[in-house]
Structure 1
Amino acid sequence: MITSIESGYENWTLSFVKLLVDNNDPLSVEHYLRCLKSMNPEFVVPLAKIVFCSDERETLEKVTTPCTIIQTTNDLVVPEFVAHYMQKKIKGETTVEIVKADRHLPQLTAHLELVHVLGRVLGFEI
């Protein structure tokens, strides 16, 4: 991933957006692609190293606060088993809420369902 960013940022943005955003939602694809392209590539590599190379699994067992993990049904970046792994490791009461959405960014492609899940979690219905 890091090598792809370093060797060709423009090409990387095109392939990365396909992993994160449902390709059946062209407006969201275009929006996220514009966001990625507006980033300064020299800052993307250090950020990507933090995101993709960090391993904080040992931190999960230190979490005692009640948590809700929101997971999409078809996330190519973070598969559903990761949410359940986190749920088992976190010491506080933890639930997993599934949002029916393709890819990683339900706030773009399934925003109404995400708002309903957030409403349930926060104790108000929309």
Structure 2
Amino acid sequence: MVDPSRNHLRLLGQGGPTLVFGHGFGSDQAAWSRVAEAMASTHRVLLFDHVGFGRSDRLAHCDQRHSSLDGYAQDLLDILEDQDLGDVVYVGHSIGGVIGLLASLRAPRRFARLVLLNTSPHFIDEPGYRGGFQRRQIAELLARMDADYPATAAFLAPVAIGPDNPAHHIEAFGRGLHALDPLIATRFARLTFYVDCRARLAEVRHPCLVLQSTHDTFVPVDVGEYLHRQLRGSTLQLLENSGHCPHITHPQLIEQALRASLEPREAAALRA
């Protein structure tokens, strides 16, 4: 049995299918609060924090288990098994989307479909692939994080939220970054920015909705288009907004996209 405090589990709403929201680097389940609360009017919703983030049990962070994204994927599967959940719709932001993809490959029956918001399988430019960053830039960012985590957190917040968005979102995101354990945060940042799961995308069998911001410094549109090409049967929807976190800055856009994607399928299931 999983201790609910390990990942600070929260269940909202009722009905089906169950929506499970996974957050990305530097945030926690609170980033999904407005979208989740809106969706809870018609669906059951599960929110959780990755170990080391938000109100999770930081003592549950294990150097061995959490040295890879597969460890975080197993955390997610443990939660779904403990809650006896199957055929969930997993909605993951950024690296949270990758964690959902990895979990779906390990236990396909737990998932019905995946929604990937500004998710990147690889952040680094390679021959024939545009990830958005040069390897040198990622190395410099992580070295800067090691040397002065608070200053790096202050730098990342406006980049993540987008300078065109209200200052209170930048300030809130910055406070969240500053509240993290620097050691856990920098380890997770390395897993995030050096991720490369491109070779595994062909294994994904679940329907996927790729939600991609039109102006995202961390994940350019090219990446969303690449995901769409590699994930068979996926749907790509471009979101006209700036920043990496539209679920924070423009939650109504995400709610609308989710409802437009889910409701036709739910109606078809009822008719079947």
Percent sequence identity over matched residues? 22
Gaps of 5+ in 1: none
1:61 paired residue number: 202
1:72 paired residue number: 213
**TM-score, length basis structure 1:** 0.92
Structure with higher RCO (Cα < 8 A, 6+ apart): 1
Q: Match for 1:84: what amino acid? A: E
Q: Distance in 2 between matches of 1:41 and 1:96?
A: 35
**Superposition CA RMSD, Å:** 1.2
- CA displacement 1:73-119 (0-9 Å, x = unmatched): 1000000110111111112x101112222110001111111111111
Q: Distance in 2 between matches of 1:120 and 1:22?
A: 26
Match of 1:37 among 171, 174, 178: 178
Instruction: Tell me the CA shift for residue 11 of structure 1.
Output: 1.0
1:16 counterpart SS class: helix
4+ residue segments displaced more than 6 Å: none
Does residue 166 of structure 2 align to residue 25 of structure 1? yes
- CA displacement 1:45-99 (0-9 Å, x = unmatched): 11011101110000111112111011111000000110111111112x1011122
Does residue 264 of structure 2 align to residue 90 of structure 1? no
Q: Match for 2:240: what amino acid? A: K
Q: Distance in 2 between matches of 1:42 and 1:74?
A: 30
Which of the two has greater helix per residue?
1
**TM-score, length basis structure 2:** 0.44
Q: Match for 2:250: what amino acid? A: A
Does residue 257 of structure 2 align to residue 117 of structure 1? yes
Q: Match for 1:13: what amino acid? A: A
1:99 paired residue number: 239
Gaps of 5+ in 2: 1-140, 265-272
